[in-house]
Chains A and B, each alone.
Chain A
């Protein structure tokens, strides 16, 4: 592997360890409100929005372990675990596909 790519991979590992910094941001994201938040804003939940909103239950919703206590340490650990899962699956999948299709 090129030295540059190796160093970039190392940089990515550092980022993975630092991901819990992303948890410090508290606030709302426009257009990504929960049904409760919409209820607060409008006094109702648009019917189509409500019926679509549980069409998929992700195993690790919001990069957290479902049902776990909400201590900062637990959230940080779950967040780092999510980042590791993300890196392993994204990089692994594209490495395998890439190796299959790549030309010299």
Chain B
């Protein structure tokens, strides 16, 4: 899922930089206006967690290797905009320090893993959860489904970017200049591996972390204002 340099031509990677710059700008603005002191350790932990979880390569039958990202659970817990920031930091370090993902293609990789995933993860979770109580198992199931679908969507987006390259860039003799495989190969390859493999891992990770936070301190979840009842006075106070 980390597109290396050379696989996308300039039309695509420049377009992705143009799309990503305002998203990063707005995410930064949003973070400064919404982030609470209490969430700071969680934000720091989120980026570190995503970095580490992407190191757990999972082999699939057929010889493919890939990984989950943790981006959906980060979007669910900290909100999608904080998810953009945390994932961008992890992806930047991977690209600069470890050569995992390209430099030219950095914005494209951020679009797939730092935008598509936290946003789809968060909104799918919200939609399926509906008005279910914060501690209900329906919410944990929603989180799992959100994790699953979010990685499938990111895989579709990555496969699409790969697949349009032969259409966009060919030499006069018809030789592909960048990614040589078109949509008919790239899209199903990316989708199938994730649908039957890595997305299942993403769902499990999302549900495990969600379940843990839900059970121990649901007030950490983004956008949830828990009214804690003060036992002594019987009055309610926002936690």
Distance between A33 CB and nearest chain B CB, rounded to angstroms:
9
Report the interface size for chain A: residues with CB under 8 A from the other chain. 64
Whole-angstrom distance between the alpha carbons of A23 and B58 in the complex? 9
Number of CB contacts from chain A to chain B under 8 A: 215
Contact between B39 and A102, CB atoms less than 8 A apart = yes
Answer yes or no: B7 CB below 8 A from chain A CBs: yes
Q: Mark B25-61, 1 if CB is under 8 A from A, else 0.
A: 0000001111111111111111111111101111110
Q: Pick the residue among A29, A85, A103 that contacts B65 (CB under 8 A).
A: A29
Contact between A85 and B64, CB atoms less than 8 A apart = no
Whole-angstrom distance between the alpha carbons of A92 and B44 in the complex? 7
Answer yes or no: B190 CB below 8 A from chain A CBs: yes
Distance between B6 CB and nearest chain A CB, rounded to angstroms:
4
Report the interface size for chain B: residues with CB under 8 A from the other chain. 77
Residue of B nearest to A104 (CB): B37
Answer yes or no: B103 CB below 8 A from chain A CBs: yes
Contact between B6 and A8, CB atoms less than 8 A apart = no
Stretch among B89-97, B120-128, B142-150, B224-232 lining the A interface: B89-97
Name 14 extra pairs, CB < 8 A, besides A58-B99, A90-B93. A12-B48, A15-B56, A21-B56, A24-B57, A30-B190, A53-B6, A55-B104, A58-B96, A62-B99, A63-B100, A90-B47, A91-B47, A99-B40, A103-B33
- Residues of chain B touching chain A, judged by Cβ–Cβ distance below 8 Å, are 1-7, 9, 31-53, 55-60, 63-67, 85-86, 89-90, 93-100, 102-104, 158, 162, 169, 171, 175-180, 186, 189-190, 193, 209, 212-213, 216-217, 220
